[in-house]
Amino acid sequence: MALYSEKVMDHFTHPRNVGTIEDASGVGEVGNAKCGDIMKIYLKIENDIIEDVKFETFGCGSAIASSSMATEMIKGKSIHEAMRLTNKAVAEALDGLPAHKMHCSVLAEEAIKSALLDYFQKNNIPYDENDFPNSEHAPQCE
């Protein structure tokens, strides 16, 4: 059995939505220095819809694939739909990740939520603090 699914390999070798967005509506950056995985997500939001999303990821193939898949999953969605994206959904969309690489999908979820929080704060939009992960607890990696 292969360590990585075909979808993981496809998103790693042909990542979607790579880059930056100038004047982004929201930007989120998360990472774990121990692993070396760092993700930065840029959102362009109009009328509560994510019109565009880009990412920059420094990390392993699983981190890049998770970032790529996560951006595809939220592009064109409402900010409320994007808030509900979970690391489990990202991993499932990639047809699974090895257990020791699940932290990569957690980082993708947290980067998106960090960018949404940035958007809410820049625009004085009320939000529930419980909807956002505690950035001080970085996912553990092996």
Positions marked catalytic: 35, 104
Please name the amino acid found at residue 124.
Answer: N
Those residues with Cβ within 8 angstroms of residue 57's Cβ, 6 or more apart along the chain or in another chain: 37, 38, 39, 40, 63, 64, 67
**DSSP 8-state class, residue 55:** E
- Write out the two tokens for 1: 């059995």
The sign one gets for the Cα dihedral 124, 113, 26, 70 is negative
Whether 13 and 29 have beta carbons less than 8 Å apart is answered as no
Cα 135 from Cα 75, distance rounded (Å):
24
